[in-house]
């Protein structure tokens, strides 16, 4: 199939990939004697020295629990934690740091909304509109909420190029919706949805708009004010930070009306044996000792991404997709799923090799040093829609090179050779 | 020579033995591995306490399909009690290739379906469908 390769919309100077790679110690590792070709960035990203050092610094220099001690180390750690919040707020252009809640990951952020907002606002007969592109973390919480309260859930389809059916989405919103839960960027196909336009339409239809930006924030500039959403959720570990860091952004006027999600220490302002008053935003939603070292490291990751420039990272990924797609598609038996061009996408390429199960593909790739994800990508409704049990997914990031793409193509040939195809 | 995708594994994958619907099956069990989307149905025809015939149907990776195919060759003629006694170590040894922890479920899907059929289960304990 011919590939349409358009020039990326954002014209930027190229990344200094060699310099970036030097910041990531793990990229010097070998797998079975072969250089590491890490192409599973949609699952989790690798970490630069700057992030690893930020974590070590806390433990080595001033570790103490936050928001509690009145001694210097506690104050320093608290300051670093709150400074990280300010960095994250600036990174997504949140109007206020009070609206940025630290959570473990996007899944926790989405569940926070499903419990603390959903249970009070979605009633029997209400409609939740979502899409077949959602990661399970932005689908199962709404499915379970709908089942629990007797609400209806509408799942908007995609077209054969992996693009959201806008006509169907508009029709569902016109029928009325209390909530639109939509992914900004598909983890399975790499499709970027026109979320700004969709959010405006959904809000006009009276829906609260929640956007899963877990695959967007690491790869494309995300501005929550420009997006026009009510909530956004993301994970730190997909954007150079450690697992255990993540964020929920929500409009203050909504967050203030919500009940807490988890109860315990730090989220209270006053407790008597009869009643408890909640702490103010954002701490109302941060019960117990936060993963403060992870959050501080997320601040360092945001610094790193800001220094490199997220728009540049996106352009770099698109150049890798432009390099890979024609080389992959000219191999007999290879089927690529999702967008075949460079419009509104990120560096995620899902494919299958005819006659070889993705798990066998990934096992053989592993011997070539190529790490990819094989499976349903926590996207079972999407796999069903595509009519496949699983796919092989290569997902790129700022440190990947055209050499990595060549290694991937060689690995496809190696798999075909093993299977005699 | 590939240590995992040996010729006999690929042969069982491409030309599975005892594959297809079994007419007159007395014991049937369907199982799946949601992680890979593998599907597997094992059918037994038990006559006088012995496996008169066995068939499987399914789709999935080379490891799950080859493992099931090899297993069906082995159980023909065995008593039902002997089938119930087959364990994972035996299946892995019979498969004869190194299996990484991530692929162990693939290698054992056939055994799981076979045991479900032999024991006359409708669902493995703890795996009942929840609504």
How do residues A109-167 score in pLDDT, each as one tens digit? 999 999 999 999 999 999 999 999 999 999 999 999 999 999 999 999 999 999 999 99
Confidence of residue A12 (pLDDT cuts 50, 70, 90): low
Say yes or no for a CB contact (<8 Å) between A363 and B38: no
Query: What is residue B129's predicted lDDT score, i.e. its pLDDT?
Result: 62
Rounded Cα distance, A212 and A120, in Å? 21
Asked if residue A372 lies in contact with residue A362, where contact means CB atoms within 8 angstroms, the answer is: yes
Q: Distance from A383 to chain B by nearest Cα, in Å?
A: 9
Task: Report how many Cβ contacts below 8 Å link chain A to chain B.
Answer: 46
CB neighbour burial string for B79-101, b if at least 16 within 10 angstroms, e if fewer: ebeebeebeeeebbeebebebee
Residues of chain A positioned with their CB less than 8 A from the CB of B63 = 359-360
- By Cβ distance, the residue of B35, B37, B61 closest to A360 is B61
Q: Distance from A391 to chain B by nearest Cα, in Å?
A: 9
Say yes or no for a CB contact (<8 Å) between B37 and A376: yes
Average of per-residue pLDDT across A384-400: 95
Q: Mean pLDDT score of chain A, rounded to an integer? A: 95
3-state percent breakdown (helix, strand, coil) of chain A, nearest 5: 45, 20, 40
Given a cut of 90, is residue A6 above it in pLDDT? no
Confidence of residue B131 (pLDDT cuts 50, 70, 90): very low
Look up residue A294 and give its two tokens.
């992870």
Q: Distance from B91 to chain A by nearest Cα, in Å?
A: 19
Rounded Cα distance, A215 and B39, in Å? 30
Could you report the predicted ipTM of this complex, rounded to two decimals? Answer: 0.89
Residue appearing with tokens 């939603």: A285
Given a cut of 70, is residue A11 above it in pLDDT? no
Confidence of residue B123 (pLDDT cuts 50, 70, 90): confident
Given a cut of 90, is residue A8 above it in pLDDT? no
Each domain of chain B, given as residue ranges in start order, spans 7-118
B96 or B129: which carries more pLDDT confidence?
B96
Say yes or no for a CB contact (<8 Å) between B37 and A418: no
- By Cβ distance, the residue of B10, B35, B103 closest to A419 is B10
Note whether A140 contacts B: Cβ–Cβ < 8 A: no
The answer for residues whose C-beta is within 8 angstroms of residue A343's C-beta and 6 or more apart is A6
Instruction: List the catalytic residue out of A372, A378, A382, A394.
Output: A378
Residues of chain A positioned with their CB less than 8 A from the CB of B35 = 375-376
Given a cut of 60, is residue A1 above it in pLDDT? no
Percent with pLDDT over 90 in chain B: 78
Note whether A398 contacts B: Cβ–Cβ < 8 A: no
The answer for residues whose C-beta is within 8 angstroms of residue A418's C-beta and 6 or more apart is A364, B2, B5, B10
Average of per-residue pLDDT across A49-64: 98
- By Cβ distance, the residue of B5, B36, B100 closest to A390 is B36
Q: Distance from B11 to chain A by nearest Cα, in Å?
A: 10
Domains of chain A with bracketed CATH:
17-31+309-418 (3.90.1150.10), 51-307 (3.40.640.10)
Residue of B nearest to A358 (CA): B61
Query: What is residue A7's predicted lDDT score, i.e. its pLDDT?
Result: 47
Query: What is residue B125's predicted lDDT score, i.e. its pLDDT?
Result: 79
Rounded Cα distance, A16 and A21, in Å? 9
Given a cut of 80, is residue A9 above it in pLDDT? no
Q: Which of A364, A333, A363, A348 is nearest to A396 (CA)?
A: A348
A206: left (phi over 0), alpha (psi -120 to 50) or beta: left
Q: Has A378 been annotated as catalytic?
A: yes
Note whether A360 contacts B: Cβ–Cβ < 8 A: yes
Q: Distance from A153 to chain B by nearest Cα, in Å?
A: 16
Please report the DSSP string for A97-161 in residue order. GGGEEEESSHHHHHHHIIIIIIHHH--TT-EEEEETT--GGGTHHHHHHHHHHT-EEEEE-B-TT
- By Cβ distance, the residue of B10, B60, B103 closest to A420 is B10
Instruction: Encode A284-308 in three state secondary structure.
Output: HHCCCCCCHHHHHHHHHHHHHHHHH
Q: Which of A419, A208, A118, A15 is nearest to B7 (CA)?
A: A419
Query: What is residue A10's predicted lDDT score, i.e. its pLDDT?
Result: 46
Which helix (DSSP H) or strand (DSSP E) does residue B64 occupy? Answer: helix B62-75
Note whether A388 contacts B: Cβ–Cβ < 8 A: yes
Given a cut of 70, is residue A396 above it in pLDDT? yes
Residue of A nearest to B10 (CA): A419
How do residues A58-93 score in pLDDT, each as one tens digit? 999 999 999 988 899 999 999 999 999 999 999 999
Test mutation, A31, A147, A360, chain B, max B CBs within 10 A: A360
Q: If you classify domain B7-118 with CATH, what class do you get? A: alpha beta
How do residues B26-78 score in pLDDT, each as one tens digit? 999 999 887 777 889 999 999 999 999 999 999 899 999 999 999 999 999 99
Given a cut of 80, is residue A221 above it in pLDDT? yes
How do residues B6-21 score in pLDDT, each as one tens digit? 999 999 999 999 999 9
Test mutation, B13, B37, B105, chain A, max A CBs within 10 A: B37
How do residues A327-350 score in pLDDT, each as one tens digit? 999 999 999 999 999 999 999 999
């Amino acid at each position: 199939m011919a590939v349409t390769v358009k020039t990326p919309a954002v014209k930027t100077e190229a990344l200094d990939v060699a310099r970036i790679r030097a910041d990531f110690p793990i990229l010097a590792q070998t797998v079975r004697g072969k250089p590491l070709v890490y192409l599973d960035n949609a699952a989790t990203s690798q970490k630069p020295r700057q992030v690893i050092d930020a974590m070590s610094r806390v433990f080595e220099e001033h570790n103490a629990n936050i928001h509690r001690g009145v001694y210097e180390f506690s104050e320093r750690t608290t300051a670093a934690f709150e400074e990280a919040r300010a960095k994250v707020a600036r990174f997504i252009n949140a109007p206020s740091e009070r609206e940025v809640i630290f959570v473990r990951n996007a899944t926790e952020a989405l569940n926070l909304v499903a419990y603390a907002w959903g249970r009070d606002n979605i009633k029997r007969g209400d409609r939740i509109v979502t899409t077949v592109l959602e990661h399970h973390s932005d689908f199962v919480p709404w499915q379970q909420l709908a089942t629990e309260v007797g609400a209806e859930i509408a799942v908007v389809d995609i077209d054969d190029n992996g693009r959201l059916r806008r006509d169907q989405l508009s029709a569902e919103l016109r029928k009325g919706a209390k909530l639109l839960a939509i992914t900004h960027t598909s983890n399975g196909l790499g499709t970027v949805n026109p979320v700004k336009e969709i959010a405006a339409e959904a809000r006009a239809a009276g829906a609260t708009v929640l956007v899963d930006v877990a695959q967007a924030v690491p790869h494309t500039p995300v501005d929550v004010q420009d997006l026009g959403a009510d909530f956004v959720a993301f994970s730190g570990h997909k954007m150079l930070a450690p697992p255990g860091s993540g964020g929920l952004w929500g409009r203050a006027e909504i967050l203030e009306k919500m009940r807490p999600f988890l109860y315990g220490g730090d989220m209270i302002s006053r407790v008597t044996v009869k009643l408890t008053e909640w702490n103010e935003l954002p701490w109302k939603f941060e019960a117990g000792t936060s993963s403060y070292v992870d959050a501080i490291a997320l601040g360092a990751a945001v610094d790193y991404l800001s220094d490199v420039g997220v728009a540049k990272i996106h352009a770099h990924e698109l150049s890798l997709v432009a390099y890979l797609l024609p080389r992959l598609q000219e191999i007999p038996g290879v089927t690529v799923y999702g967008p075949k061009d460079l419009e509104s996408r990120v560096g995620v390429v899902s494919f299958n090799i005819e006659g070889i199960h993705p798990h066998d593909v990934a096992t053989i790739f592993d011997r070539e040093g190529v790490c990819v994800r094989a499976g349903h990508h926590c996207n079972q409704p999407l796999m069903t829609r595509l009519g496949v049990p699983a796919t092989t997914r290569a997902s790129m990031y700022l440190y990947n090179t055209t050499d990595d793409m060549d290694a991937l193509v060689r690995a496809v040939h190696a798999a075909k050779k093993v299977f005699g195809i | 020579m590939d240590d995992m995708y040996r010729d006999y594994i690929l042969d069982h994958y491409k030309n599975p033995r005892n594959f297809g619907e079994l007419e007159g099956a007395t014991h049937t069990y369907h199982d799946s591995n949601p992680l890979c989307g593998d599907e597997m149905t094992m059918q037994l025809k038990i006559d006088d306490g012995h496996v008169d015939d066995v068939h499987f149907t399914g789709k999935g990776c080379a490891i799950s399909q080859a493992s099931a195919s090899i297993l069906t060759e082995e159980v023909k003629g065995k008593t039902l009690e002997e089938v119930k006694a087959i364990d994972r170590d035996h299946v892995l040894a019979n498969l004869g290739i190194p299996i990484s922890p991530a692929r162990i479920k693939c290698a054992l899907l056939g055994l799981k379906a076979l045991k479900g059929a032999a024991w006359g289960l409708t669902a493995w304990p703890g795996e009942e469908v929840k609504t």
